[in-house]
Every structure is written in C-alpha cells, then in structure tokens.
Chains A and B, each alone.
Chain A
Amino acid sequence: MATVAGTIAPVRRRFVDSAIVNWITTSDHKKIGILYIVTSFFFFVVGGIEALLLRIQLSQPDARFISPEVYNELFTMHGTTMVFLLGMPILAGFGNYLVPLMIGARDMAFPKLNALGYWFFLFGGIFINLGFLIGAAPNAGWYNYANQTELQFASGLNEDVWALGINILGVASLVSSINLVVTIVKMRAPGLTFNRLPLFCWTTLVMAVLILGAIPSLTTSSIEIFFDRHLGTSFYQVASGGDPILWQHQFWFFGHPEVYILILPAMGMISEVIPVFSRKPLFGYSFVAWSTVAIGFLSFGVWAHHMFTSGLPLVAQGFFAFTTVIIAVPTAVKIFNWIGTLWGGDLDFKTPLLFAVAFVGMFTIGGLTGVMLGVVPIDWQVNASYFVVAHFHYVLFGGTVFGVFAGTYFWYPKIIGRMMDDRLGKIHFWITFIGFNLTFFPMHIVGMLGMSRRTYTYAAGQGWTGFNVIETVGAFIIAIGTLFFIWNLIWSLRHGEVAGDNPWHAYTLEWMTSSPPPVYNFKKIPEVRSRRPAWDAEHPEDPDWRRTH
C-alpha cells in the first residue's frame, strides 16, 4: 500500500505541476490575457474560413458550392464569431494583459473572477460552435431577428444553441467588465490620476461600462427567445400578442453600444501607438479622453437607426437620425487629434504605425458611410444591402482588426520578450490593406446596385458578377496576409530579436518593467508624475512633469 502511495504521489505532483494544469488554474492576469488573445485569434481563423466559404459561393452567379441551409449557418456563425468570439474577447485579452501593467498594479482586482471570465468565454465559444457538430448551427443571422427564431419558423435546435451560447458569452463579458472597471478605478499607482491615465485604459474603462449597460439587454432577450420556444410564452409571437419589433429594440439597445465596445479599445491602442512612432505626446489628450466618454454616453441613444425601415414614427426617426449624426462629432475629434499628433512628428513607419495610420483612414471611410446611413432616406434605399456590409466591415475590420494588429506588433515584444519581424510585418500589412479594400470597397457599389446582404446566389446579367469576383479574390488575399502574420508570430517566438524593456522608447508604465514582466509586474509600485512616466525615466533632464503637470 505504501508502495502504491509512494508511486502515485510523484505522478500526482508531476500532474499538478504540469504546464497544462498551470494554465488551467492560473489567476495571473498576464497568462489569462494571453489565453484570451490566443483563443480569440483561433476563432478569428475559424470566422475567416467561414467568410472564405461564403465568398466562394458568391464568386459566380447561380453557384451551388454550398447548400442554402449551410450558407445561412455560415453567415450567422461568421457574424457571431467575429463579434462575440474575436472582437470582444481579444480586446478583453489585451485589457487583461495590459491594464494592470499600465496602471502600475500587480494584478486585476479579482484575479480568480478574471479566470472565470475567460473560461466562460472559452466554453461559450465551444458551445455555440457545437451546433456544427450536431447539424444545428445557428442560422437566423447574427442579430437573430424575431420571429425567425420562433418555433413555427425554426423547429430545430439552431436557435436554442444561439440563445444559450450567447448567455454564456454574455456572462463572460460581464464578469470581465466588472473586473476591468474596479481595477482601473481602484488600483492605479500613486499619482496616476485620471488625467494621466493611458488612453488605452480610458477606452477600456468606457468599453467595460458599456458592456455592463448593454449586455443585459441581449442576455435577457435571448432568454425570452428560449422561453417562447420552450415554455410557451409570447414575447415575440404576434399571434399571442407578442411583438417581434420588441426584439429589434432589445437587440439594438445592445447592438449599437456593441459597435463602440468593439472600436473604443482599438482607438485606445492606436492612441498609444501613434505618439510613440511620431515621437510626440498625443495632441489633445483631454479631448481624446473625454470624447471617449461622450461616445460611450451617446452610444446608448442611437440604437433605432438600425430600425428606420421597421415602421418607426417619424419623430423617432428624426430623433435617432439626429443622435447618429451627433455621435460623429466626438469621433471626428479623435481623428483630428490623431492627425494632429502625426502632423510634424518624426514619423517612424514601423508596422504598428502602418496599421495605426490605416486604421485612421479606413475607420474614417466607415464612419462617413455610417453618417450616410443615419440619414433616413438613404437608409431606406440601402438598408440590408451590401452597402451596409461594406460600412460595418470598414469600421470593424478596417478599424478594430487593424487596431488589434497595430497593438499586437506594438506589445508583442513586451508580452514575449522578442520583437516581431518588421519586414514580415510590412508584407502582412500591405497584403492585408490591399486585400481588405479589394474585398470591401466594391460592396458599396454592389449594394447600391441592389444586392441584398445574405443573398445566397444571384442571376447572371445583374451587373454584380465582376464585383463579386473582385471581392472573393480580395478575401483570399487577406487570408494570404494572415498566413504571413501567423508565420511571424510563430517565427518570432524563438528567432525574434531580444526586445529589452522598452524597445520602442514608449511612454507608459508597462515599458518600465522587464519583457516579459515578472509575475508581480513591478518590484516596487511606481509613483507617477506625468502622462509619460517612461519618457520621464529616460529623459530625466526634460521630464514631462516639470513642463506640464
């Protein structure tokens, strides 16, 4: 017996000490951040493959590459994946990794709750993709409009998978957001006032507050779908006195803040990147910070611009058109400030800056078409067309994804301790930039020519074929660019140049500890005296705090 126990004990100890158990049980914000980022990127590849299959189907008229049923599942899961399994969690991942380092804290406020948020996200992602395995992937579009979700129109498990999966993911987002808010509000280093807070932390804070306000609308309404389907309630069933339009209000009350949930932290990322590669402080820090707050506040007042064609009263249409135009003002303030920072700067066009500048350009195009869509008569013409698809891809790919790429190249040296290869990075950038515009710019035109989003196929002679061929070629070019990115990520793990603590001569606190940082982040909690503490440390003869604060 003693022999058996003596054999088991070391085996058990080896298991407990193994890397996999270490990662499963970790409460270190840096490891959890890496888990978020890696998992999200995996889902980015999954969502990208779904998009390529959709593009192959649309590359020729009258195509039958995939069945209509599979097509419905693919576009639904592409949208769901990119929003809930890439956009939100990858930003949460960077927030998890960077926020404590940027504010001079040793971890998040609730480290184990932090781990819970990640595991909910992972299992929510697995659950919602489980539909493919059981032949019942969600298929009513990522915004899952009632009454397509009601039992008489969707008798399979597809909508149950979506409703239950979204609830797991919703709880994951709430858990992560509570943690981010408390961490940023309560755990800043001495001297790190809100007026000195890095802009990535500002935007992450507003994002987290938006999640807390918006997600409950989605989770409760998806529970109502489940109740309608299983318990005989009639929230959205017209025949029983329900109202499908209620779903649209509930969904878009979440859905439009969601756009800012997805874009604000990416704006924060490029607000960190642009000053460093311009060798200047950010132009108009206060305006960028407070415009973030303004966007967050206004984002709860624009939801019904998604519903202009649903029969809203004219007064409501006027109100939501007005708020939609107004929210462009703080957004434009940011664009002005980024350009003001670049203007006259000593620009160093490394890969992070290339993606950041591309973000500004592409997001501006997406923002302008957003203002167009806020004008009611235009929206009536192009609602639910490929023009809208082009618009939101310019915002969420040209904006969020380009911002995340900029952030990845920028912070990879801090996370891994080695530089990513800049030559491969530039190849990745140019291929992605060209592929992105080939894919999504023609969608504006084909949308105005009348092609509806979610069209399964189309007849020859409608004038759409050429544009769709270009879009499909562009999508595959993006995929090639992504392969360069993956190769760069892997190659640089072992062969990248050793980064050192602050390879970019950047300004914020995370660059004042080692790369990668130790478990405890900082040996001693720093005291901050300006917005650029790392600059101050590198330039004791000319510190910011002596000049401005």
Chain B
Amino acid sequence: MSHEPIVDHGNVEEEEEHIHLPGSSVWPFALAVSLFVVMVGLLFFPHWGTTAGVVQLVLLLVLSIVGVAGMVVSIISWGLQISEARPGSGTH
C-alpha cells in the first residue's frame, strides 16, 4: 500500500523563520475607552423638554469632546502605526 501524504507539507508557503504576524497595538483599546467616555458623556444629554444644569452641560461637553478627541487620535495613530512582528512569530 502506498502511503501518500495525508496532510501535505510539501507545498509549504512559509518556513517558521519567515512567518510574519502583526504586532501588538494599544490603539484598539484606546479607541474603545474613548468611545466609552463619549457614551458616558451622552448620559448627561438633557432630556427633551427639560432644562440642563450648568454642571450637566459641562460634563456633557467635556466628556464628549475628550472622548471624540481620543477616538480621532486612536484612529489616526492606529493607521500610522508601523507594522511590527508579533514576539515569537519569527524574525521580522
């Protein structure tokens, strides 16, 4: 009986030392935190027909602006991040 290869390692794409995987990034985490801050800010959005207090308006504006700014910074930084190999994934 001939033993043909079952899981064929002959047609290999990459050797281990050339495996390239994306490195780590803090920006997905930062983006999620920023969205969270925006959403907390929106909780201070006055209900229709009610008058907002000064503190409420300040919290709404500060949290929303900080959160949106964080989102913008996170997205841009993510886009600009130089791709680095993941530790343990090879020599790149």
Whether A113 pairs with B28 at a CB distance below 8 angstroms is yes
Given contacts A28-B86, A119-B31, contact A526 B23 (CB under 8 A): no
In the bound complex, residues from chain A placing their C-beta under 8 Å from that of B86 are: 27-28, 519
A171 CB to nearest chain B CB (Å): 8
Number of interchain pairs (Cβ within 8 Å): 134
In the bound complex, residues from chain A placing their C-beta under 8 Å from that of B9 are: 524, 526-527
A338 within 8 A of B: no
Query: Chain A: which residue is nearest B7 at the CB level?
Result: A526
B71 CB to nearest chain A CB (Å): 11
Contact indicator per residue, chain A 518-535, by CB within 8 Å of chain B (1) or not (0): 111001111111100100
A329 within 8 A of B: no
CA distance A115 to B22 in the complex (A): 12
Whether B29 pairs with A520 at a CB distance below 8 angstroms is no
A15 CB to nearest chain B CB (Å): 12
Given contacts A113-B28, A127-B40, contact A529 B6 (CB under 8 A): yes
CA distance A232 to B16 in the complex (A): 60
CA distance A126 to B65 in the complex (A): 21
Query: What interface size band does chain B fall in?
Result: 35 or more
The interface residues of chain B, by DSSP majority, are classed as: loop
A335 CB to nearest chain B CB (Å): 32
In the bound complex, residues from chain A placing their C-beta under 8 Å from that of B46 are: 230
Whether B88 pairs with A27 at a CB distance below 8 angstroms is no
Whether A22 pairs with B24 at a CB distance below 8 angstroms is yes
In the bound complex, residues from chain A placing their C-beta under 8 Å from that of B7 are: 512, 526-529, 533, 536-537
Whether A525 pairs with B25 at a CB distance below 8 angstroms is no
Contact indicator per residue, chain A 166-192, by CB within 8 Å of chain B (1) or not (0): 011001000000000000000000110
Whether A112 pairs with B45 at a CB distance below 8 angstroms is no
Whether B35 pairs with A123 at a CB distance below 8 angstroms is yes
In the bound complex, residues from chain B placing their C-beta under 8 Å from that of A165 are: 39
Query: Chain A: which residue is nearest B36 at the CB level?
Result: A123
A56 CB to nearest chain B CB (Å): 31
Whether B11 pairs with A190 at a CB distance below 8 angstroms is yes
Given contacts A27-B86, A126-B36, A229-B48, contact A540 B19 (CB under 8 A): no
A151 within 8 A of B: yes
B21 within 8 A of A: yes
Query: Chain B: which residue is nearest A539 at the CB level?
Result: B6
Whether B48 pairs with A230 at a CB distance below 8 angstroms is yes
In the bound complex, residues from chain A placing their C-beta under 8 Å from that of B35 are: 120, 123, 168, 171
Given contacts A119-B31, A525-B14, contact A24 B8 (CB under 8 A): no
Whether B8 pairs with A526 at a CB distance below 8 angstroms is yes
B57 within 8 A of A: no
Query: Chain A: which residue is nearest B32 at the CB level?
Result: A119
Our pick among A24, A229, A520 for the contact of B90 (Cβ within 8 Å) is A520
Whether B32 pairs with A519 at a CB distance below 8 angstroms is no
In the bound complex, residues from chain B placing their C-beta under 8 Å from that of A314 are: none
Which residues of A in the span 181-236 have a Cβ within 8 Å of any Cβ on B?
Answer: 190-191, 226, 228-232
B23 CB to nearest chain A CB (Å): 7
A interface residues (Cβ-Cβ under 8 A, vs B): 21-22, 24-28, 106-107, 111-113, 115-116, 119-120, 122-123, 126-127, 130, 151, 155, 157, 160-161, 164-165, 167-168, 171, 190-191, 226, 228-232, 512, 518-520, 523-530, 533, 536-537, 540-541, 543, 545-546
A-B contact pairs, 7 of them (CB 8 A): A25-B26, A27-B25, A113-B28, A119-B31, A526-B9, A527-B5, A533-B7
Q: A112-B25, A122-B32, A520-B90 are in contact. List 14 more A-B contacts (CB 8 A).
A: A25-B29, A27-B28, A115-B25, A116-B28, A116-B31, A123-B35, A155-B47, A168-B36, A168-B39, A171-B35, A230-B48, A527-B9, A540-B6, A541-B1
